[in-house]
Amino acid sequence: MNTRPRRIPRRRTAVLAAAIGLLVAGCSSGTDERADGAGAARGSGDLRVALVTHGSEGDEFWDRVRKGAETAAAKDGVELTYLSDPDGAGQADLVRQAIRDGVDGIALTLAKPQAMKDPVNEARAAGIPVVGLNSGVDAWKKAGLLAFFGQDESLAGRAVGEKLNDLKARHTLCLVHERGNVGLEARCAGVKKTFRGTTENLYVDGTDERAVSGILTARLRQDPSIDQVVTNGADFALTAVDAAAEADSDADVATFDLNEELLDAVRGGNVRFAVDQQPYLQGYLAVDALWLYRTNGNVSGGGAAPVLTGPAFVTKTEADSVAGFAAAGTR
């Protein structure tokens, strides 16, 4: 019988929905939350930057990206607007809105590089510098971006595969919660490249938590040889812990990305480890890079190499040292 302790149901954190337009307003300090879901962090300067991501509602990961961006904006005196849409076409529309609004810089994610191709070209034609963050480490140079801040997902996946070899895992299930996301695919492909056991991908719709849990539970029941689940987000790792218990499976759980509750699960032994790509740092560096480029002509990484923010493994040993930063929303 599986004696794995059940976790406490996780807290829900509301995040801002994707907006249709950008906020143009006088400069002041703090954050303005509009009723339509767009938020602008304003500094005392004249530069305006749009951060456009593929983040979904209810995902604490993107709260951390945004918080880092807002911190940099406050430091640099930049007016920042955060917008997001998980749909590639929707994200492209938001980038075009920023171009029409005449912002001074755009930071965006390249989870679906093809969808961003034309909007990036339009921004460049308008003389607006664009940097990438989080997703698209293999696509940012071809797309013509100035710089990229994030994790090499293939490298991170290969590191996880080696870690699982050390832990003597034999059959790994890699959970992909968003089809077409090049970063998630690269992670699982990296795991498969170095892991000496069996690796298979399980595709689910990450917007439906109940369905994710049901599909994962059924797969674990179907194949008792699966002794390791690797997820691509902290919330999915917590769901996997419950699914393994429900399926009476002995499979362990590890994950890419972390949050405060995930750290509790690592400390409690329910999750073996997390791979931290430092989302707060990604948001911070992207906004700061645009400010430096506009005010001093600097190009991070020389325009030739990405600025890597991960991977860093967080195990039970490191969890306590990271917990305080996670509670503050910066890790």
Confidence of residue 40 (pLDDT cuts 50, 70, 90): low
| First-last CA distance in the chain | 35
Of 11-20, 144-153, 314-323, give the lowest mean pLDDT range.
11-20
pLDDT of residue 329: 86
Of 31-40, 185-194, 280-289, give the lowest mean pLDDT range.
31-40
Domain ranges of the chain: 31-151+278-310, 153-276
Reported pTM? 0.80
> Average of pLDDT values for 43-51?
80
Exposed, middle or buried, 199 (CB in 10 Å: 0-12/13-18/19+)? buried
Tokens of 103: 């912002």
- Fold classified for 153-276: Rossmann fold (3.40.50)
- Per CATH, domain 31-151+278-310 is 3.40.50.2300: yes
- For the chain, give the mean pLDDT: 88
Tokens of 36: 């339509």
State yes or no: pLDDT of 20 exceeds 80: no
- Two domains, one topology: 31-151+278-310 and 153-276: yes
Tokens of 295: 């005010």
Burial readout 215-225 (b: 16 or more C-beta within 10 A, e: otherwise): bbbebbeeeee
**CA proximity to 263, closest of 197, 203, 320, 189:** 320
Strand stretches in 23-109, DSSP E: 31-33, 39-41, 48-53, 79-84, 105-108
CA angle 301, 113, 236 (to 5 degrees): 95
Q: What percent of the chain has pLDDT over 70?
A: 86
**CA proximity to 107, closest of 270, 235, 249, 292:** 292
